[in-house]
Structure 1
Amino acid sequence: MCQKYPSVKWIDRFVQRHPEVALHHPSGIDPKRAQGFNYTIVKKHFEDLESLLKQHDILWENIKGGSLDLVTVIESVCADGTSLHPGFIFAGGVIDRESTEVDPDIVLATSENGWTSDYLCSEWFKQSFIPQVATRNQSGRPIVLIYDGHGSHVTSEMIETAIAHNILLFALPPHTTHRLQPLDVGIFGPMQKAWSKQCEEYSLRTGEGMQRCDVVEEYMKAWEKAFRESTILQAW
């Protein structure tokens, strides 16, 4: 970063200056896991499963597997303390009906793995961000969008669209979002706590983990709670 390379003794001196830093050798797979995953145990597992299915005449559609489903949320918050409707990106190619009924102004999309992409970010920018800020821009002056340097945020299409709608794109310096990104510092901390609490309440209420079809509704409930408690409103 500074065009210089550390000397051989640099690490030793660094550790001496920072006793809170502990050095450890990387560890491989847990020995218990390595022992547990073998042909005999795996074979017996599937034999027991087959026996259970036959004993109770279980249909294939009644066999469920627990898994994690990634959902990406695109957020934007105004410096005056108001928020815009977020965008949600689900993995796969289907959007649950329950998600579409939460709020017609919330943009929903899908991708193969639930991640954002150049295209999806551009579509969120055109279909969600621009219409919302346009209705709130009472002064008619340019809108400034502060964002991190993710590749999907700096495409030529995004830049051209921003220019056409009098929006100024202002990128944060690389590797500084942990301190300079307003949402990371003042919003997402309270949001993470609110979301964890919302998931716990959901589990107690329904007796199961958060379901994909309920993510949008439950997230918006958590967002409202976190937004009210956020210190960023006081700071701005």
Structure 2
Amino acid sequence: MSLVSLAFAGSVGMTFVILACALPQFKVWWPFFVVLFYILCPIPTMIARRHTDSTGGTNSTGMETAIFITMGILVSSFALPIVLARAGGIMWGACYLTLAGNVIVYLTILGFFTIFDMDDSDYAMWAQLINPARAQKLNKYIVQQHFNAIKAIYEDLNICSHPERLYNMDEKGYRLTIHHQHKVFAAEGTKWVHVVAQEHAENITIAMCVNATGNTVPPMVIFKGKILRPEFCDYMPPGTLVKMATKGSMTTELFVQFINHLGQFKSQGKCLLIFDGASLHLDARIVDTADAHDIVLYCLPSNTTHELQPLDKSVNKSYEHFWDEN
């Protein structure tokens, strides 16, 4: 029996004891109390089993527990006027304490109080979807191998003493058109309101880079198309590299240009650049360009960037959230 079931059974049982002491003809009412008690006590377990799936997980646990805690409150409320009419101060206080205990348990279930720890099954979380490739690659062996390899590079380049030489680069695509529904004013009774907008959003790619001390490199912005219009460069941060691509995404040629762009703003000395393992990044021209700028390249393991890419976990995740709200 769970903690919630015990709390419910205790509250109902205490209420019955109070009623038995308050009402006359105790022996006449006692069988009724026993039968009613055994009828009500299995309710929490029955509801929990009803809302348990094949994997053993539960759903809507908070609402179900709130329902049968509410039943305990109602029973206590039913006992209160009888006790007030027939009992003295001690029984009056006991009934008040029982009712207050039921209310506190009810509020605890709803999350207003944390006076005791709930069972693990009483917590519900939204599951994050992950494709099979990422689930297979993100294992203990690959992750440990990654940290061992990058630790060796840190020691070789003395990164711990020069964190300004450690850079992380990530790409992120954003939609420029309306990407969620907007609320508008309309006449009362109107069923449909249309907003003229492109059904297929236009995407741009932003390649951002920052070092371990928090200093940023001017980003690279990639628009979809072939002709770079002057207005595309308006309101950009100083030093931003604006380029065009057929699909509006990064290519091998553009990544070579990004390495040259990074070479103009990086710190003095040999630097380390951490980036994801996209196939377009694996090209001899990229390696030669990085060597020319004294940059060491480190490619993150494939299908693990959702957990191992620093910019993806911190900056881009927050930026995407606020971008979608606007």
- TM-score, normalising length from structure 2? 0.38
1:194 maps to what in 2?
322
In structure 2, give the amino acid aligned to 1:196: D
Query: Deviation at 1:195?
Result: 2.1
Query: Deviation at 1:74?
Result: 0.8
- Write the distance in 2 (CA, Å) between the matches of 1:108 and 1:18: 53
2:47 maps to what in 1?
none
Aligned length: 136
In the alignment, is the contact (CA less than 8 A) between 2:278 and 2:302 conserved in 1? no
1:68 maps to what in 2?
201
Question: Could you list the runs of 5+ residues in structure 2 that have no partner in the other structure?
Answer: 1-52, 59-126, 128-195
1:91 maps to what in 2?
224
2:253 maps to what in 1?
119
More moved, 162-171 vs 64-73: 64-73
- Write the distance in 1 (CA, Å) between the matches of 2:315 and 2:272: 19
State whether structure 2 residue 293 is matched by structure 1 residue 165. Answer: yes
- Write the distance in 1 (CA, Å) between the matches of 2:286 and 2:214: 25
In structure 2, give the amino acid aligned to 1:117: T
Quickly say closer, same or farther: Cα 1:16–1:94, change in 2 above 3 A: same
Quickly say closer, same or farther: Cα 1:161–1:95, change in 2 above 3 A: same
- Write the distance in 2 (CA, Å) between the matches of 1:177 and 1:17: 29
- Write the distance in 1 (CA, Å) between the matches of 2:55 and 2:272: 42
- Write the distance in 2 (CA, Å) between the matches of 1:130 and 1:166: 8
User: Deviations 1:155-204 (Å, cap 9, x if unpaired)?
Assistant: 1011011112111111112221111110111111111123234xx2xxxx
2:176 maps to what in 1?
none
In structure 2, give the amino acid aligned to 1:97: P
Query: Deviation at 1:154?
Result: 2.0
Q: How does 1:34-73 map to 2 (within 5 A)?
A: 66=198, 67-73=200-206
Question: Could you list the runs of 5+ residues in structure 1 that have no partner in the other structure?
Answer: 1-14, 22-63, 201-236
State whether structure 2 residue 310 is matched by structure 1 residue 182. Answer: yes
- Write the distance in 1 (CA, Å) between the matches of 2:234 and 2:256: 24
Runs of 4+ aligned structure 1 residues displaced above 3 Å come to 15-21
- TM-score, normalising length from structure 1? 0.52
Query: Deviation at 1:122?
Result: 1.0
| % identical equivalent positions | 25
Quickly say closer, same or farther: Cα 1:16–1:176, change in 2 above 3 A: farther
The secondary structure found in structure 1 opposite 2:215 is coil
What's the C-alpha RMSD, in Å, of the aligned pairs? 2.4
The secondary structure found in structure 2 opposite 1:85 is strand
User: Deviations 1:86-110 (Å, cap 9, x if unpaired)?
Assistant: 1111111233433313245111111
Which one of 253, 265, 268 corresponds to residue 132 of structure 1?
Answer: 265
Query: Deviation at 1:17?
Result: 5.3
- Write the distance in 1 (CA, Å) between the matches of 2:54 and 2:273: 43
In structure 1, give the amino acid aligned to 2:307: R
The secondary structure found in structure 2 opposite 1:75 is strand
In structure 2, give the amino acid aligned to 1:105: G
The secondary structure found in structure 1 opposite 2:250 is coil
Quickly say closer, same or farther: Cα 1:104–1:187, change in 2 above 3 A: closer
User: Deviations 1:125-147 (Å, cap 9, x if unpaired)?
Assistant: 21x211111xxx2xx33110001
Which one of 220, 232, 243 corresponds to residue 109 of structure 1?
Answer: 243
In the alignment, is the contact (CA less than 8 A) between 2:252 and 2:280 conserved in 1? yes
Q: Which structure would you say has the larger Rg?
A: 2
